[in-house]
Amino acid sequence: MEAVRRQPYRSVSNSKILFRILIGMLLVVVLASAIAIYFEQEKQLARIDARREALAGTRQEAAAELSEMRELQQIVGSDAYIERVAREQLGMVRPGEVVFTDR
């Protein structure tokens, strides 16, 4: 049988061990920072999405109001406009109409 050759035992100096520990700690700190930044960005994106939805709702309301204003602008001065103002703002009704109120 052939004798198995063993590698000679190499001792690792203290400076190499310290260097490896420092590199390991640096990697842990960098990884922890990256994870913290990721979660902070996720929170910011959630806030931005919520704000975007709120603004979209406000935009739809403004578009509806603009449409109504343009419609009013077209009928101002007509009999239909005068009747609308009399009904909505003054509470007037035509003779013979029956008014139902909801309490």
Q: Is residue 37 part of a domain?
A: yes
Domain that holds residue 74: 14-88
Q: Is residue 75 part of a domain?
A: yes
Q: Is residue 21 part of a domain?
A: yes
Per-residue pLDDT tens over the stretch 44-76: 999 999 999 999 999 999 999 999 999 888 888
Sign of the CA dihedral with 27 first, then 32, 33, and 35 last: positive
Which of the two residues, 23 and 88, has the higher pLDDT score? 23
Q: Is residue 7 part of a domain?
A: no
Q: Is residue 98 part of a domain?
A: no
User: Distance between CA 97 and CA 37 in Å, rounded?
Assistant: 68
Residue 58: what residue type? T
Sign of the CA dihedral with 33 first, then 34, 37, and 38 last: negative
Helix (H) or strand (E) holding 18: helix 14-75
Per-residue pLDDT tens over the stretch 7-41: 666 666 888 899 999 999 999 999 999 999 999 99
Please tell me the predicted confidence (pLDDT) of residue 83.
86
Number of domains, the chain? 1
